Amino acid sequence: MKKLFITITIIMASLATYAQGTVVNKYFNQLADNDQFTKVSISSKMFSLFTELEAGSEAEEEFLKAVSKLKGLKVIASDSIGNAAKMYSQALKDIDAAGYDELMSVKDAEENMRFSIKESGGKIEELLMVVGGKKRFVLLSLYGEIDLKNISKIARSMNVGGLDNLSKIDADN
């Protein structure tokens, strides 16, 4: 009887973690047949193909560096849904329930945005970005080995003019 309980517990636990680690998968399943949402999934196999493309600018180099460590990217997005705000708050609830840690939230008049991470052994395994506007909802998941510094450099190097002062901020941190 003991063995049985152990087996069932293991199965249940693995089911639970399976459900936990993948808030995005849950949304993929829920919204699988909903054409209002764009759903994209890119696998690590694709990422490995990118590196064969020639890296030209500095920006692209940063980008490829960040990508090389990723295992996958998933995006669910819509620009034209009525209940975007409601979806946003529901997504935050789901993310919290799944055991993610909040990295930061940004709020402005138009949009809310939140970054959450899942860590394991001091390393970030998954980065979740949720955006909720009036009609816009985005749920984006990056998983694999995630280097936040590396990723935040991409925008800076690609947009040198507009975000110039940001580099300075990073420097004094």
Partner 1 sequence: MESRIKELQEKYWAGESSLAEEAELKAFFKKNPSMAPEGRYWNAVLKKQKETPDTAFKHPNTSSWRSKWSVAAAITVGLIAAILVIQDARNQSQFTVEDPKEAYEITRKALMMVSSGLNEGKTYSKEIANINKAQEKVTEDK
DSSP for residue 123: E
Distance CA 164, CA 132 (A): 27
Compare residues 46 and 97 and give the one whose CB is closer to partner 1: 46
Report whether 59 contacts 158 (CB < 8 A): yes
Distance CA 9, CA 51 (A): 42
Site for partner 1 in 143-172 (CB under 8 A): 148, 151-156, 158-159, 163, 166, 169-170
Distance CA 129, CA 105 (A): 10
C-alpha closest to that of 94 among 78, 76, 108, 81: 76
Which x/- pattern over 23-62 shows residues binding partner 1 (rule: CB under 8 A)?
--x--xx--x------xxxxx--xx-xx--x---------
**Binding region for partner 1 (CB under 8 A):** 1, 3-4, 7-8, 11-12, 14-15, 18, 22, 25, 28-29, 32, 39-43, 46-47, 49-50, 53, 63, 66-67, 73-75, 104-106, 113, 115, 127, 129, 131, 138, 140, 142, 148, 151-156, 158-159, 163, 166, 169-170
